[in-house]
């Protein structure tokens, strides 16, 4: 099984961890493509491939993944990691607002539906979600998302 991991600097921890355990996982190969901060925003779809729209991102893809573009059809699975997709957004909403059933003296009371929509709005505006949607639209594949710590 070939797994493609796409992300920002948070991918480094996964890559280092994989190096430690990969000998235990025969038949599994992981390929990592990473770029710092918001560089991955410069990815665009070209059929089943993701291609950089900037020379800077192309260099990062070459450096981290050995190719100047990502051919999604070469992988059995695609995972996205980091890129501003984090459970800290859930915590930030919950810190300021409380569900009606969790009422206490802190925060404003909101309904469960309002809470869910607020969290969805934050997560779906992330770079990770944009690339998730780009992959689905270009290849029909559903990438896994690994939240950043």
- Checking if the pLDDT of 106 tops 70, the result is no
Please give the model's pTM, rounded to 2 decimal places: 0.83
According to DSSP, the residues that pair with 97 across neighbouring strands are 108
Query: Quick one: which of 59, 38, 42, 60 has its CA closest to 51?
Result: 42
- Checking if the pLDDT of 92 tops 80, the result is no
Distance CA 110, CA 103 (A): 9
| Cα radius of gyration rounded to whole Å, the chain | 18
- Checking if the pLDDT of 109 tops 80, the result is no
- Checking if the pLDDT of 95 tops 80, the result is no
Distance CA 61, CA 109 (A): 45
In sequence order, the 6+-apart residues with CB closer than 8 A to the CB of 130 are 41
- Checking if the pLDDT of 103 tops 80, the result is no
What's the average model confidence in pLDDT over 52-66?
97
What's the average model confidence in pLDDT over 114-138?
87
- Checking if the pLDDT of 107 tops 70, the result is no
Show the beta-strand stretches assigned E in 87-138.
97-99, 108-110
Is residue 144 within 8 A of residue 82, CB to CB? The reply is no
């Amino acid at each position: 099984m070939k797994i493609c991991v796409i992300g920002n600097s948070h991918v480094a921890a996964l890559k280092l961890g994989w190096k430690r355990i990969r000998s235990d996982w025969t038949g599994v190969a992981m390929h990592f493509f990473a770029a710092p901060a918001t560089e991955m925003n410069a990815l665009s779809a070209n059929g089943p491939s993701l291609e950089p729209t900037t020379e800077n991102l192309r260099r990062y893809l070459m450096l981290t993944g050995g190719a100047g573009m990502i051919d999604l059809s070469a992988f059995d699975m695609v995972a996205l990691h980091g890129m501003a997709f984090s459970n800290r957004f859930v915590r930030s909403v919950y810190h300021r607002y409380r569900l009606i059933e969790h009422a206490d003296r802190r925060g404003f009371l909101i309904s469960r539906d309002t809470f869910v929509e607020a969290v969805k709005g934050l997560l779906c505006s992330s770079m990770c979600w944009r690339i998730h949607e780009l992959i689905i639209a270009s290849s029909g594949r559903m990438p896994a998302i690994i939240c950043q710590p």
